[in-house]
Each structure stands twice: as C-alpha cells, then as structure tokens.
Amino acid sequence: MSTPTIADQLIDTLRQVGVERIYGLVGDSLNPLVDAIRRTEGIEWVHVRNEEAAAFAAAAEAQLTGRLAVCAGSCGPGNTHLLQGLYDAQRTGAPVLALASHIPSEQIGTGFFQETHPERLFVECSHYCELVSQAAQMPRLARIAIQTALGRGGVGVLVLPGDVLHRPAAHPAEPGAPRVSRGAVAPGDRPVREFAERLNSARTVTLFCGAGVAGAHAEVMEVAAKLHSPIGHSLRGKEWIQFDNPYDVGMSGLLGYGACYEASHEADLLVLLGTDFPYDSFLPKARTIQVDHDPSRLGRRTPLELGIHGDVGATLRAVLPLVEQKTDGSFLDRMLRRHEKALTQVVDAYAGDIERQVPIHPEYVARTLDELAADDAVFTVDTGMCNVWAARYVTPTGRRRVIGSFLHGSMANALPHAIGAAYAYPRRQIISMSGDGGLTMLLGELLTVAEHQLPIKIVAFNNGSLGMIRLEMMVSGYPSFQTDHGVSDLAGLARAAGIPGAAVDDPADLAEAMYTAVHSPGPYLLDVRTDPNALSVPPHITAAQVRGFALAATRTVLDGGVGKMLQLAQANVRNLPRPHRA
C-alpha cells in the first residue's frame, strides 16, 4: 500500500475518535482532505452552502452530544465564513475541531491570492489554533487539537496548507483513540463546610440555575426542599431545571418572567449554580455564593462571599448531608404566589383572543408548536424574538432540548443548528424556530436540507421585520427605521428549494397546518405570517424607562404570555402549604 498522506492520517485520527462526518464546502486547498474522505469508509462529507452553516452545524452536534464535531473551510474566505459558528461553539463550550485549510506554505507572507493568517484570525474563538507546516508535526498536532477541544470544551483549529495535506506522512499512525473522559470536579472539604454553614444560617435562600445544573436536577430539588428555596433559572438553565419543579419562580434576564428577579433580590442569600449569567444588572449584588466547574467564572458577574470550584451535582451531593432542614417555608410560599400572580396578570392582559387575532400572534404560533411537538423534540432557536417565544412557550420535559446562539447571539443560527441536530439525532423530531430575518440570512441552507433530505421542521415566524430590533428601537425611544423589509414568500422559496411548505395567515388554519408540518415525514417549512406589532409598549411607561435599554421598560415590554408555565405555577401554588420534610 502506498504511504498515507497527511490528509489520510488526519482522517484516520478522526475516525479513531468516532467522527462520522465533516461539515463544509470543498475548495482547492481542501482537496487532499476531501479526497481522503472519499476513499475512507465510515466518514462522510456534509456539503453545506456557506461555511458559517458548517460551523453552526458542528457546534450544534457537539453541544447536543458532547462528542467532537468537525467542520472545514478552504483558505481565505472559506476560513472567514467559519468564524461566526466557531464563536458560537467556543462560547457554548461545544467541542468542535475546525479544519482551516491554507494557501500553499511557500506563499505564506507574500500577500498571495486569498491569503489570511488563520492562526491570528481564530485566536479569539478557539482554545487551540496551530499551523501545520511540516508533515512531521502530524498526527501529534491533530491529537492535541482534538484533546484540547474535548478537554477544555470549545474549539480547536488546525491550519492546514494544501501542499502539507498532500505530503506523505512522516510518522506512522498512532493507534488508540485520543480520548477525554472528563471527571467530575469535586469541591474541597472546607468550602463545602462553609457553604453548609452559610446555607444553615441564612434565613431565606434562593437558588439561581444555569446550564451547569444539567444532570443535577434531583440534587437541586433536594437542596430546595431542605431550604424552602425558590428556584429561578437563566435561559440556558431552563431546559435542565424547570420541569418537575415545585419551586419554580421563572427566569431572569432581558427575556425574564415571573418572580425570579424578586426571589433573587429579596432572599437573604442567593446561590448561583452553574451559571455565568451575563446580565449583572439583574443580580442583587448582595450576599451571593457561586458554584461552578470553571473557577475562572467565580465572581466575575457579582461580588461573592463564597466561590466554590466544583460541579453542581458533586458539590450539592457533598453539602446535602450538612444542610439542616428549615422549618419556615413562608418566603418560598410568598414567591410562588407572586410568581403565579405575575404570570396570571400578563396572561389576562395579553392573551385574550389570541386565537382569533389577525395577523397571527406569534405567541399563538409558539403555543401551538409547543402543544404539537414531540416530548423529546430538539428545538433550535433563532436569535431575535424567537428567543422570547422559546423561553416562554417551549415547555421543558427533561427530554426535550432547546439550543440557540444564547451566548454569542448571532442571527441565522437556527437552521444550521438544526442541520447538526438532524445528524446528531436522526430519529428525533428537529424543529427550527426561525425568524424571517434569520432564515433569509442563510437562505441557501434550505438547499442543504433538501439535498440531504433532513427531516427538519422549519417554523418561520414571518413578521416581515427585524422584530427584536424594532422593539429595541421602540424601547430606546427611537422611531423604528430600516427594520421592516416586507413579507417574503418563504413557503414559496422552500418549495423552489425542493422542501414542501405552506403559508398560513388565518389563525383558524394554524393548528392543522402546524400538525401537518410537525408530522410530515421529511423536511417541511411552515411560513406563518405573524404580527410585527405583537408586543407594544404599555401606556404607563415612563420617559425614564424609555431612555436607554432600561431594565424596567424591557421587562414590561417583554411581559407577554407565558404558555404552560401558568399552569405549572398554579399547580405549585395549589400545593401550598407544602408539607415540611422531617
């Protein structure tokens, strides 16, 4: 057999880690790599229309499965297109390897055609980014990039000049997969004791949960039961903690709702569990304890009286035996009542005849989708108002997943995220909640969905505007300008791309159309013509609130409906007074 090339060796290394596909778009300098894939069993090339989508798809696959996902872009512009999705992956801690091919090595530094400097370009959106300039560096650098992406959680980049990819391997392939099985971070004994003392001496404690509570639902509930603690969450924490939760007081942040804000501010002690919640203006800056598996996050949003380096599950398991049962549950009861009241008020004020409203109310669309979607559906959510609809209407079940560009906040993420999700979970229902701005920003990916026949259900909230920005302008006191691009025929565009689709503008037709969409065997696009004025500034808003992106104004403006959360809140209040645990 002829000597394998560096490209062959790289693909072989990826196979050893279990990589089954590379998302990308072929191009000159990538050719040796693409050819190696063509000749290798068990790994496929997933052709997308824009490298940005390749990076988003890999980010979604990695984020959902926790396994390494790979994307690739050719030199220069193929690389720069990757950036957006790589920022998303890096911020989310999704283990992604980017194969950034490069101009011929002898031309580097000459201002050659398509020349960029990828090692500089990707610095900020990766943990590791190295140029492979000679064959003898491989397969070692490939292993380090993979190990870093998996071990640190985020992006590794290999910069690969086409000529180097084509060279014969200098070292034999290394047997045995590079592997990281991440251990749990156990907290130290002393911080655990101090944590217990503070929990025991505080009169009232609120728990605020982020994505770091994944896998620790039972432990959080046990602590809440002992302390009679309200439990609030961030947007990323919602899917892991809001289900089966008799202590739920809703969400904090710009899209927040319910009594989370009050519970955080009125408690004696706030405990941040696995959250790097960025909006420090929503935190009380009072007595706060934070638990996180990444010590660099401790105290970076708010001063702490105790920071604990540890996984949430491991830390709570360690502290639980030392936590005394509190007897006074009045703070929790008050917060649960406040939560229920807050939700009831907004629903009463808002959702009156939502089922008959024309243009269709986006909240009605989200509610209908929530009712008809599978219990284990994966929702990908566009940046923009879809974030609000998903936060309020997609009911977590413990098995559903909801991902978006929640940390990087890039538009156009939902469809390419859905592509990665469809590969990660071919048997689950994948739903892309897309804004019309977001969808059309990477419109070519409809062709990717059609080409690979990915059974993604795209629900387009087609309000003919950049709704979130329209709202921002309104809240800031600017007249809306350049936000309304008009309603396009998204269903027609989908059909032209080879995806069945239908448009709905009568609310009476919505439920049936949604049923058809979510139950269709293949890809489908439901183009719902929604109301761009769905949210309006209430009349009592003050000038001070309107100035800037004021907290109170935003909260009031965003106080729309809240879907099934009201039922949950009502059920929790019905159970009051709760029996105190012995």
Choose between 42 and 492: whose C-beta lies nearer to ligand TPP.
492
Rounded Cα distance between 162 and 264, Å, is 54
Choose between 65 and 480: whose C-beta lies nearer to ligand TPP.
480
Tell me the closest approach of the beta carbon of residue 410 to ligand TPP, in angstroms: 5
Choose between 220 and 458: whose C-beta lies nearer to ligand TPP.
458
Rounded Cα distance between 181 and 355, Å, is 49
Binder among 60, 129, 142, 386 for ligand TPP (CB under 6 A)? 386
Tell me the closest approach of the beta carbon of residue 48 to ligand TPP, in angstroms: 17
**What is the x/- site pattern for ligand TPP, positions 273-302, by CB under 6 A?**
------------------------------
Of 145, 176, 167, 136, nearest to 72 (Cα)?
145
Choose between 409 and 455: whose C-beta lies nearer to ligand TPP.
409
How many C-beta atoms surround the C-beta of residue 574 within 10 A? 9
Tell me the closest approach of the beta carbon of residue 469 to ligand TPP, in angstroms: 5
Q: Does 384 bind ligand TPP (CB under 6 A)?
A: yes
Q: Is the separation of the CB atoms in 203 and 357 below 8 Å?
A: no
Tell me the closest approach of the beta carbon of residue 234 to ligand TPP, in angstroms: 18
Number of chain residues interacting with ligand TPP (CB under 6 A): 19
Rounded Cα distance between 55 and 152, Å, is 18
**What is the x/- site pattern for ligand TPP, positions 501-540, by CB under 6 A?**
----------------------------------------
Of 542, 553, 386, 352, nearest to 460 (Cα)?
386
Rounded Cα distance between 33 and 269, Å, is 55
Choose between 79 and 440: whose C-beta lies nearer to ligand TPP.
440
Tell me the closest approach of the beta carbon of residue 272 to ligand TPP, in angstroms: 26
Tell me the closest approach of the beta carbon of residue 359 to ligand TPP, in angstroms: 13
Rounded Cα distance between 188 and 310, Å, is 8
**What is the x/- site pattern for ligand TPP, positions 400-419, by CB under 6 A?**
---------xxx--------
Both tokens assigned to 95? 């283990």
Tell me the closest approach of the beta carbon of residue 382 to ligand TPP, in angstroms: 5
Please write down the long-range contacts of 199-204, taking CB distance under 8 Å and 24 or more positions apart: 199/223, 199/227, 199/269, 199/271, 199/319, 199/323, 200/322, 200/323, 200/324, 202/267, 202/268, 202/269, 202/287, 203/268, 203/328, 203/331, 204/228, 204/229, 204/266, 204/267, 204/268, 204/269, 204/331
**What is the x/- site pattern for ligand TPP, positions 454-483, by CB under 6 A?**
-------x-x-xxxxx--------------
Rounded Cα distance between 342 and 117, Å, is 53
Choose between 18 and 77: whose C-beta lies nearer to ligand TPP.
77
Question: 549-573 in b/e burial notation, b at 16+ Cβ within 10 A?
Answer: ebeebbbbbbbbbbbebbebbeebb
Q: How many Cα atoms sit within 13 Å of 387 on the Cβ side?
A: 26
Choose between 409 and 500: whose C-beta lies nearer to ligand TPP.
409
Both tokens assigned to 106? 């002898």
Both tokens assigned to 420? 């990665």
Choose between 16 and 84: whose C-beta lies nearer to ligand TPP.
84
Q: Does 380 bind ligand TPP (CB under 6 A)?
A: no
Tell me the closest approach of the beta carbon of residue 454 to ligand TPP, in angstroms: 21
Choose between 137 and 410: whose C-beta lies nearer to ligand TPP.
410
Tell me the closest approach of the beta carbon of residue 530 to ligand TPP, in angstroms: 8
Q: Does 561 bind ligand TPP (CB under 6 A)?
A: no
Hunting for tokens 């196979």 — which residue is that?
15
Q: Does 85 bind ligand TPP (CB under 6 A)?
A: no
List residues binding ligand TPP (CB under 6 A): 382-386, 409-411, 435-438, 461, 463, 465-469
